Amino acid sequence: MKKLFLVLCAFLLAGCASGPLVDKSLSARSQDSRVRYIIIHYTALDLTQSLRELAEKGVSSHYLLTDGAAPKIYGLVDESQRAYHAGMSSWKSAAQLNSSSIGIEIVNPGWRSTPNGPVWAEFQQTQIDLLIPLVRAIAQRHGVTPDRVLGHSDIAPQRKEDPGPLFPWKQLADAGLVLWPDAAAVALQLPAFESQLPEVAWFQKKLAQHGFAVPMTGTLDAPTRKVVAAFQMKYRPSLIDGTPDAQTAALLAVLTVLPATPDKAREH
């Protein structure tokens, strides 16, 4: 009898610890994933350091894509959980993107300083061959649209440069995963901008319309240059000096008329 009493007490305590019974036979029609963005980074560290940093310290990412002869993908944070990879960040009307994004870190040393300027490290094609299906699967699971597959430098241009100008965004665009301007449309726009370059305020307005947080000063200040450089790293990596030129203007003009997913309010 005493044994039965103890078993019953244990059962009751277990029930209290797990909370009340919840009937999950119904599911609301109005719901979707909290994940709205996929953010791509490089680690700027080797594999050992990357694992230590992302698994044991105060930063984290959902996935880590390794380098070497046979790259693999580590799943470090479940997609249902928040990882700490974005930091102070924004895109269009959204801010603090850790709460609404999936972070993917790629082992890559980033850049090194030389007398002739920074030299960036290339990504392995085997890494990109793993990355593309990973991004596609995440996007399908959560309904992430191509205009919301971004780099760390897109969402934090004042302090971040990853994944850098050698990241092959065009390969992701060709796979239908990233917003990309039509080359013919850009070529049509280019002569007009070569003839008459818009004022800095125009570039600031277009960059903000695209999604960047950019100051609306009307002057080519240091923060504006960083945003222009971040845009160039993604869409015109051959020259990333942050100067608003005709080709940058043509790219912006085309991209800002492409359809993008509106930031809908999630609360009613």
The confidence band for 263, taking pLDDT boundaries of 50, 70 and 90, is low
State pTM to two decimals: 0.90
**Domain map (residue ranges) of the chain:** 37-174, 183-255
Q: Are 95 and 112 in contact (CB under 8 A)?
A: no
**266 pLDDT exceeds 50?**
no
* pLDDT tens track for 138-152: 999 999 999 999 999
The confidence band for 267, taking pLDDT boundaries of 50, 70 and 90, is very low
Q: Assign domain 183-255 to its CATH architecture.
A: Orthogonal Bundle (1.10)
- Say whether 105 is catalytic: yes
* pLDDT tens track for 156-207: 999 999 999 999 999 999 999 999 999 999 999 999 999 999 999 999 999 9
Of the residues 53, 56, 79, 105, only one is catalytic, namely 105
Q: Are 256 and 268 in contact (CB under 8 A)?
A: no
**8 pLDDT exceeds 60?**
no
* pLDDT tens track for 61-89: 999 999 999 999 999 999 999 999 999 99
* pLDDT tens track for 225-243: 999 999 999 999 999 999 9
CATH superfamily for domain 37-174: Peptidoglycan recognition protein-like (3.40.80.10)
What secondary structure letter does DSSP report for 92?
Answer: T
